[in-house]
Structure 1
Amino acid sequence: DHTVVLYAPTRRDYRKGGHVDRFDPARFAADLGPGHTLVVRLHPSLASGVARGLGLSDLHRRGVLVDATDEPHVEDVLLASDALVTDYSALMFDYVLLDRPVVVHADDWGAFAASRGAYFDITADAPGHVSRSYRELAWLFASGTWQDQEAARLRSGFRERYCEFEDGRAAERVVRLLMLGERGGALLPAARRTEGVRDRSGALVER
């Protein structure tokens, strides 16, 4: 009966070890208030690093939050949550398929983009509201803005732009095209379907 907020930060290439504390997760859990559970899942590369030693595991033991870093299937963690707070993690592309709110916490976007590069500016083309400070992040949840109509509009637009092929039938399309020779329900030309392959000597061998 709780609102489950998943916090899934990614690693930083501009910091040795890859971990940067963006905010205090214990404070965020407290600020979310009664009826909320904060779940934290670190990037897999940080699972055994300094981030775990800075108190996350202890907070889990004390019941302040749930440390889901070691859960073997991230899909289960996504399904169990009602909202995602992330920075630049690729998990957002999977999460928007659930049509649940996403908040992008981008307080170090300039440093992140300069050190690693980016395909696009996530702060300008986000799947939900963007916070650039902890104060803004806390306000988004305290005010309920994280799940307002604007958040839904941004999420829908993001799905249309970046997730058009994620309809649950991608594997079927691959099999039909590459193994069955079908394209749009029709067989490919016979020449394409009987295309040969070369053996170790380089000779063409018909399939």
Structure 2
Amino acid sequence: MVDVKDKKKRMEDYLEAIYNIQKSERRVARTTDLARVLEVRPSSVTEMLLKLSDMGYVEYTPYRGVILTKKGEEVAVRIRRYHKIFEAFFYSFLGVDRSEAHRLSCEIEHHVSEDVALKICTLIANECNLCDVCEFKVFKLSYAEPGTYRVIVSPVSLRDIGIEPGVVLKVTGQLKIEVNGNVLSISEKYASLILLERVE
């Protein structure tokens, strides 16, 4: 019996492959294209395309090819975006080998929520160049100027002193903050692990 998550992954792999062919080659995707890219039999491709067509993700005409519907393109764009985010995280942020970063991203892209993807985006905002204009303006506490900030990322071990994602705090000086009425001095080690966004 095929696992539901595995079915979802296979469907999304097809949608992403169709999207890539449409965008890179400016044409409809053919059964032979998908069989080659996904390393499956042409008969398996036909079977999946019929299912995706019934679900409204593609428009499929046997012997002519397949194109994504708006619904299918939305899924493909989301999965492609998640892949790029995680590949940048593994390769540029963690320094993982590029081929391994790609392999890991191919697996993870199917199993994350938008919330998780946005958190990773925030984490790598200063390290990547995926977007023309980054919507995330984040600062390490180490470099934050005095002002009011919201915590985006912080070590779990700091929750006991009131520092966790979502908390608003004031930076009052070099490595000095005020949170929940308490004035705290943060070590350089922890300050480099706390990411903040300025509160207007």
TM over 0.5: no
Q: Could you say which structure has the greater relative contact order, defined with CA pairs below 8 angstroms and 6 or more residues apart?
A: 1
Q: TM-score, structure 2 length as denominator?
A: 0.31
Higher relative helix content: 2
